[in-house]
Homo-oligomer: A and B are copies of this chain.
């Protein structure tokens, strides 16, 4: 059942091809009118493009890997209650608010898990046309070029990505973490925040994340010596929402000390 390197490389080629095809479709959509709806509130948006993209991924994945289950943000995948077997986790547009308001600064993400363990991930920074892709067996690449392990910087030596509501409401000592870091950045896309950590631009990222916001990232972060946990340092529940901490090993330790008071 467990996939070998060759099978993971086949997934890699397929996913990168799908992302490039969808990118062209997205650029064409900018000439047309988007259909924008709210989900849980006025700041939680979904568009016709999110839905069309997810249907595209679901169809492609079913053709490519018919036995696998699919968990998608917009609900076109399967009802998934267990991490047993192979699971594809899809975010068809990450940073939908940026997508709608800016036509920039959004991502697409696809993760593949086997019995709850990450085997493959891909995050596309759509407008910059860069895909971060790979996993524990095949390594991590940006458009095919190997990504070096980021330096193990401390919190005080680096910038932290965060989400606005955590900072405003000072959840889990977020303002003390901001104060201890070199600075805070808010990008509005989990995918772009994770890319910033992969690229060594930021030392960490903290946000409430759903499975599709972190599945691909975890498959890319851990092989580069970066750590993914809850804000308390525990393992993520990959089927549920978590207050997620992504960081260098050193910044994780620094942040856990602040969180634990």
Instruction: Point out residues on A near B: beta carbons under 8 Å.
Output: 42-43, 97-98, 101-105, 156, 158-159, 164, 167-168, 175, 178-179, 182-188, 196, 201-202
Determine whether the beta carbon of B182 is less than 8 Å from that of A185.
Answer: no
Majority-rule SS of A interface residues: mixed
- Assuming the A-B contacts A97-B159, A159-B188, A168-B175, are A182 and B102 also in contact, with contact meaning beta carbons closer than 8 angstroms in the complex? no
Show 17 residue pairs from A and B whose CB-CB distance is below 8 angstroms, ordered by the A residue.
Answer: A42-B156, A42-B182, A43-B182, A97-B159, A97-B183, A101-B158, A101-B183, A102-B201, A103-B201, A105-B201, A164-B167, A164-B183, A168-B178, A183-B188, A184-B186, A185-B186, A185-B187
The answer for the CA separation of A2 and B115 in the assembled complex, in Å, is: 73
Contacts of A98 in B (CB 8 A): 159
The answer for the CA separation of A202 and B202 in the assembled complex, in Å, is: 23
With A101-B201, A105-B201 already in contact, 16 other A-B pairs whose C-beta atoms are closer than 8 Å: A42-B182, A43-B182, A98-B159, A101-B158, A101-B182, A101-B202, A102-B196, A103-B201, A159-B188, A164-B167, A164-B178, A167-B167, A168-B175, A168-B179, A183-B188, A185-B186
Contacts of A178 in B (CB 8 A): 164, 168
The answer for the CA separation of A92 and B105 in the assembled complex, in Å, is: 26
Q: Which B residue's beta carbon lies closest to that of A101? A: B159
CB distance from A151 to the nearest CB of B (A): 11
Determine whether the beta carbon of B183 is less than 8 Å from that of A43.
Answer: yes
Q: Which B residue's beta carbon lies closest to that of A159? A: B101
Q: Which B residue's beta carbon lies closest to that of A102? A: B201
The answer for the CA separation of A164 and B43 in the assembled complex, in Å, is: 20
Contacts of A184 in B (CB 8 A): 164, 186
Q: For the complex of A and B, list the 10 residue pairs with the smallest distance between their C-beta atoms, beginning with the closest.
A: A102-B201, A186-B186, A164-B184, A168-B175, A101-B159, A185-B186, A97-B183, A185-B188, A183-B188, A168-B178
